[in-house]
Chains A and B, each alone.
Chain A
Amino acid sequence: MSVAGRGDAVVRPLRPYVMADDDEPAKPVKPGAIGQAPEPQRRSLAVRPFLVTAGRVSDDAKLPLETQVVATNDGLTALPTLTFEQHDIVAACRAPLSLAELAARLHLHLNVVRVVAGDLRSARQLTVHAPQAGTAHDLSVLRRVIEGLRAVPDSRGLTRDNNRPA
Chain B
Amino acid sequence: MTTTALPNSSTSGSGRPPLPVKMVIAGGFGVGKTTTVASISEIEPLTTEASITEVAAGVDDLTHTPHKTTTTVAMDFGCITLDPTLKLYLFGTPGQDRFGFMWDDLVAGALGGLVIVDTRRLDDCFAAVDYFENKGLPFAVGINVFDGNLDHDLDEVRWALDIPDAVPLVLFDARERGSVRDALLVVLELALERAER
Contacts and interface: CB of A to CB of B under 8 A. Distances in A.
Contacts of B87: 66, 98
A27 B96 CA distance: 13
A76 B99 CA distance: 46
Contacts of B176: 154-155
Interface string B135-157: 00000000000000000000000
Contacts of B13: 94
Contacts of A18: 72
Contacts of B28: 3, 9
A71 B1 CA distance: 21
Contact of B21 (A109, A136, A160): A136
Contacts of B69: 27-28
Given A128-B4, A149-B181, A104 B48 contact: yes
Interface-central residue, B12, B56, B126, by most chain A CB under 10 Å: B12
Contacts of A158: 178
Interface-central residue, B96, B127, B191, by most chain A CB under 10 Å: B96
Chief secondary structure at chain B's binding surface: mixed
Nearest to B89: A66
Contacts of A144: 82-83, 86
Given A139-B195, A146-B185, A149-B181, A70 B109 contact: no
Interface string A1-37: 1011010111110110010000000011010010000
Interface in B97-127: 97-99, 105-106, 108-112, 121, 123-124, 126-127
A55 to B, nearest CB: 16
A154 B178 contact: yes
Contacts of A81: none
Given A12-B95, A71-B12, A100-B89, A146 B188 contact: yes
Interface in B11-67: 11-14, 16-22, 28-30, 40, 46-51, 56-57
B166 interface: no
A12 B96 contact: yes
A144 B127 CA distance: 31
Given A15-B72, A71-B12, A148 B124 contact: no
8 contacts: A28-B69, A65-B22, A74-B9, A96-B18, A104-B47, A110-B48, A127-B11, A147-B82
Interface of B: 1-6, 8-14, 16-22, 28-30, 40, 46-51, 56-57, 69, 71-74, 77, 79-80, 82-83, 86-89, 91, 94-99, 105-106, 108-112, 121, 123-124, 126-127, 176-179, 181-182, 184-185, 188-189, 191-192, 195-196
